[in-house]
Structure formats: structure tokens, C-alpha cells
Amino acid sequence: MDYDRELLTGTVGVLILSLLAERAMYAYEMLQEAERRSAGTFRLKEGTIYPALHQMERTGLLQATWRESPEGRSRKYYTLTSKGRRQAQSKRRQWESLLAAMRAIIGDARA
């Protein structure tokens, strides 16, 4: 199914914060993970994740360190800072309320 790209672009920040709330990841890993969990829905233009990650790092939501991946390759891992954790919780709450509202609307429409 084709989604409006703009719709997805607006979710990049929430996506990153949600994934990193679970554990530290590197960029490609996040892309793969998002695609896997959304059963292919979140197939972003992959390059857009880098400006978003760098921006969040600069604003103090994330911090990055180079370390080895389980495959033995050197990867740049991102983790949430305490500010990032707070932001992740806040975004999560916003999304949940928005989704509930959307579900109510769509549900009503179907009914």
C-alpha cells in the first residue's frame, strides 16, 4: 500500500525515539528494525535518517559512540540521553492519543 511520504516523514523523529528507548542501535539497524516491525510499511528514504539523527544528537536528545557490532564491525551506536528519554515518553503519549482519536474517527466513519 502506498502511503503519503509526507505523512511518514513527520514520523521519523518518533520512530527513532521509540526504537532507541528499547536499546542502543545504529542507523541501518533502526531502518531494518522499523521495516521489520511494520511489515514493510515504514520503508523510508533511508538517507533521511542521518540528518534526523544528527539533528537530534545536536539538540541533546541522543548521544553517539563508535563500537563493535555483534558481527564484529565498527558501527556508530545511538542511545537516548535523559532529555531524549523524556522526549520519547512525551511523543509516545501524544501518538497514543492521536491514534485513539484517529481510530475513533475512522471507526465512526466505518460504522
Minimal distance, residue 74 CB to another protein, in Å: 7
Min dist CB 22 to another protein, Å, is 19
* Least gap, CB of 69 to another protein (angstroms): 9
Which is closer to another protein, CB of 21 or CB of 81?
81
Residues in contact with another protein by CB under 8 A are: 4, 6-7, 9-13, 26-29, 43-48, 50-52, 54-56, 58-60, 66, 73-76, 83, 98, 102
Q: Which is nearer to another protein, 23 or 105 (CB)?
A: 105
The Cα–Cα gap between 89 and 83 comes to: 10
CB of 104 to another protein, least distance (A): 14
Is there a contact between 17 and 30 (Cβ–Cβ < 8 Å)? no
In the complex with another protein, the residue whose CB is nearer, 12 or 20, is 12
Contacts 24+ apart (CB under 8 A), 83-91: 84/17, 84/20, 84/56, 84/60, 85/21, 87/17, 87/61, 88/17, 88/18, 88/20, 88/21, 91/13, 91/14, 91/17, 91/18
